[in-house]
Amino acid sequence: MKILVLLMALFTFSVGAAETVTFNEDNTVSLKDAVMSGSVTQTINELAKRESNSEPVIYLVLDTPGGSVFAGLNLIHYLKGYKKPVKTVTIFAASMGFQIVNGNPGERLIVDTGVLMSHPMSGGIGGELGNGLSLDNRNGYIKEIIDTMDKQAVARTKGKVSLAEYQKAYDNELWTTGQNAVDKGYADAVTQASCSDGLSASVETIDDREFIGFSMMGPLALQIKYEVSKCPLQMSILRYQVAIVNAATEERFVLKNSGYEIAEKKSSSERGMYIGQNKSESAEIEKTIEASLRYKTFQFYLKRDMNSVRGINWF
């Protein structure tokens, strides 16, 4: 009897026990952005580079708020045909990020403070009005996708959650974390993760530009340039710059700068081609950027500052 109790205790202790993983340049791909066509294409490209290397397992680290359903499905489709095991490691996987975790056939790891979140799909459809058949057919197609993803998520719980229970849970947003996610069947194991010295020391530079419109001085773009560690566990932005740029002349007006040693160029025009003459507008932009950085949890928030200056009237 004592032996049986001991064996049961050991078994209980081992279920969901933390797996230790070390991320390095060759075994790690990170999706630290919204799930969109661009970020998924980049993720697939990085996975492709590692498909034939000597690493037995690839870790796909997810730190995403979700995004496009169809972009996410493209990634899931790619993962299902990958030539070696891919284990997802969840830091934060919401919405379509949750679906990628459950759509990938490999093991679902989660850090002890990791978050998985599922909620109802949102979006819109359009089509011929007429007798309504076009809209009905498209709506049925979307429902079929939702039904497939729901059943897939439930199947991965291995009987811990029924389809009705899952749908009821996510109807008002399903949030779960760490060991609780394992207990409910939405993850397979908690992991203790670390980065190799080489990965921690490596820095990635992101330089994004988005066209805004034309001014008297030429085409304008918003540029956000920032650096982050390649270690997916180090989420802080090392340095950044937000600027309005004349796409033709490369003249720029720096709205916010932290750490970059870049000379600031200004237009010689009396009217000026950049925002800055209106102090209240400049102050509001700077306030928005500072708040985003102060309260951010993930680096993709910085990219949202592109939208904070879209409503400005250009000179």
Task: State pLDDT tens for residues 101-134.
Answer: 999 999 999 999 999 999 998 766 666 666 656 6
CA dist 278 and 265 (Å) reads 18
Give per-residue pLDDT as tens, 243-263: 778 888 888 777 777 776 544
pLDDT-derived band at 227 (thresholds 50, 70, 90) equals confident
pLDDT-derived band at 292 (thresholds 50, 70, 90) equals low
Residues of the chain with CATH 3.90.226.10: 2-197
Average pLDDT, whole number, for the chain?
Answer: 79
Give per-residue pLDDT as tens, 151-193: 999 999 999 999 999 999 999 899 999 999 999 999 999 999 9
CATH class of 2-197: alpha beta
